[in-house]
Amino acid sequence: MTTDNRKEILKRGAIWAFILVELAFFSIIGDRLSVSDKAFMDYANMLLLLKQSAPIGIIALGMTIIMINGNIDLSVGATFALAAIVLLDSMTWPFMQALGDWAIPLAWVFALLTGATLGAINGLIVWKTGVDAFIVTLGSMLGFRGLVFMFNGEQPTSHLNWTLVDFAEGHFLGLHTPTWFLLCAALVLWLLMTRTVHGRNAYAIGNNREAAVNAGIRVGPHMLLNFILIGFLAALSAVVFYSESGSVNPNDGMLFELWAITAVVLGGTKLAGGYGSIISTLGGVIAIQLLRKGLGHIGADTQTVNLVIGLILIAVLILDRQLNRKGQGELKI
Interaction site with other proteins (CB under 8 A): 1, 4, 195-198, 200-201, 203-204, 207-208, 210-218, 274-275, 327-332
CB atoms within 10 A of CB 120: 17
The smaller minimum CB distance to other proteins, of residues 68 and 295, is found at 68
The smaller minimum CB distance to other proteins, of residues 161 and 201, is found at 201
User: Cβ distance 45 to 292 under 8 Å?
Assistant: no
Question: Least separation, in Å, of the C-beta of 127 and other proteins?
Answer: 15
Question: Least separation, in Å, of the C-beta of 209 and other proteins?
Answer: 9
User: Cβ distance 53 to 270 under 8 Å?
Assistant: no
Question: Least separation, in Å, of the C-beta of 85 and other proteins?
Answer: 34
Question: Least separation, in Å, of the C-beta of 212 and other proteins?
Answer: 7
The smaller minimum CB distance to other proteins, of residues 38 and 200, is found at 200
The smaller minimum CB distance to other proteins, of residues 68 and 88, is found at 68
Cα separation, 200 vs 216, in Å, equals 14
Question: Least separation, in Å, of the C-beta of 72 and other proteins?
Answer: 18
Question: Least separation, in Å, of the C-beta of 16 and other proteins?
Answer: 21
Burial 80-113 (b: 16+ CB within 10 A, else e): bbbbbbbbbbbbeeeebeeeeeebbeebbebbbe
Return the DSSP state at 176.
E
The smaller minimum CB distance to other proteins, of residues 92 and 207, is found at 207
What is the secondary structure of 94-160 as a DSSP string? HHHHHTGGGHHHHHHHHHHHHHHHHHHHHHHHHHHH---HHHHHHHHHHHHHHHHHHHHTTSPEE--
Cα separation, 230 vs 228, in Å, equals 6
The smaller minimum CB distance to other proteins, of residues 87 and 217, is found at 217
